[in-house]
Amino acid sequence: MKSTGSIVNKIVAQEKYKKFYRKMTLEETHTVNQELLKALHIFDRICRENGLDYMLVAGALIGAVRDQSCIPWDDDIDVIMPRPDYYKFREALADSEYAKEYKIVYPEDNHVITMAAHFYREEGKLTKLVDSSIGESKIYEPYAYIDILPLDSCKDSSFSDKIRGTMVNMVQLGYVSRRCYKKNDPFLAYLAKDSKELRRNLRIRKCFAFFFLPFSQKRIFKWLDRLLKYDEKSKNMTVSFGALRYFGEKLPREIWLPVSEVTIDGLVVLAPKDAAGYLTNRYGDYMTVPSKEEQEERMIRLKDNWEDLV
């Protein structure tokens, strides 16, 4: 089955849907990135002061490795933390001098359907940083935030790990598929009116979501925490909630730990021990700069007032 995202991307490429989107300027992405770098600096300081490990990953790590700076056409920063440190960060922030200025919201407490924790400055609203038409979404948080995901240990038994990974992926799919209901993403429901393929995709995903609707977010994430009990001696580790799910980023522990350091826009931050090994697994050829068209696609944002344009 095709991913919902790939189907949506094909639909919105049509001329009739272009009015619902606007392209961020390089100046706007730069402004957002500066806010994110400030948050990353504070995040790094709190982690180092409390002995917590974290790693810069995804596009931000590509920028650090390839250019030693944020990618100009990108506007997000992702980090991962060993699961125990991921939850210890809440207390570390609460006890820090930054507790009044910065906030962390874990997915089990978020009104947004997400698998990541969000770390941001209370005053870092997108409405204050860029054009307000993309600042107050109904389905995304209106802040320039750092995405934080837990890094999990895998079971050394191949059979046991396949069972665990499959269960984690199924629970995760059931939870995030709640987005497929109209009340959670009205634009997705609007697009489905013109696409049999998308309607079929959403029906299937709603079936997965249906079994998890009776359970609260907190209950679902408690299940996941139990499934993903951390083992400091495991041979392999993975970003269970990452873009490639449980099995896609399952790599030897020595790829991840102990952490190394990279520089991004003059800020020295932590990264996977073998950053090249991680990036090659995730992206393949990560050193080649994307085409102009691909860069521009990363800067497209849905307008908040799209319903007024229907």
pLDDT tens-digit series, residues 29-88: 999 999 999 999 999 999 999 999 999 999 999 999 999 999 999 889 999 999 999 999
Rounded CA gap, 274 and 263, in Å? Answer: 15
Q: Average the pLDDT over 168-184 and give the result.
A: 93
Average pLDDT over the chain reads 92
Which of 21, 93, 36 lies closest to 70, judged by CA? 36
Q: Is residue 181 part of a domain?
A: no
Write down the pLDDT at residue 288: 94
Our count of domains for the chain comes to 1
Predicted confidence band of residue 219 (pLDDT cuts 50, 70, 90): very high
- 182-198 core/surface letters (b: 16 or more CB in 10 A; e: else): eebbebbbebbeeeeeb
Tell me whether strands 77-82 and 146-153 are parallel, antiparallel or unpaired: parallel
191 assigned to some structural domain: no
How crowded is the C-beta side of 10, counted as CA atoms within 13 Å?
Answer: 12
105, 74 Cβ separation under 8 angstroms: no
Whether the model clears a pTM of 0.85, i.e. scores above it, the answer is: yes
Q: Residue 160 pairs with which residues in a beta bridge?
A: none
Choice among 9-13, 94-98, 173-177 with the minimum mean pLDDT = 9-13
- Identify the CA nearest to 36 among candidates 63, 2, 8, 6: 63
Residue 263 belongs to some domain of the structure: yes
Residue 148 lies in a domain: yes
Q: Is 203 inside any structural domain?
A: no
Residue type, 177: S
Q: In CATH, what number is assigned to the domain containing residue 107?
A: 3.30.460
Q: What pLDDT, on the 0 to 100 scale, is given for residue 111? A: 87
DSSP letter for 201, please. Answer: H
Q: Is the pLDDT of residue 270 over 60?
A: yes
Burial profile 211-250: b = 16 or more Cβ within 10 angstroms, e = fewer: ebeeeebeebbebbeebbebeeebebbbbbbbeebbeebb
Q: Quick check: is 279 in a domain? A: yes
276 within domain boundaries: yes
Indicate whether 251 belongs to any domain. Answer: yes
Cβ atoms within 10 Å of 168's Cβ, excluding its own: 21
Provide the residue range defining the domain that includes 145: 13-153+232-309
CA distances from 56 to 43, 239, 275, 301 (A): 11, 13, 9, 24
pLDDT of residue 21: 87
What are the residues facing 270 on neighbouring strands? Answer: 261
Dist. CA 129–CA 38, nearest whole Å? 14
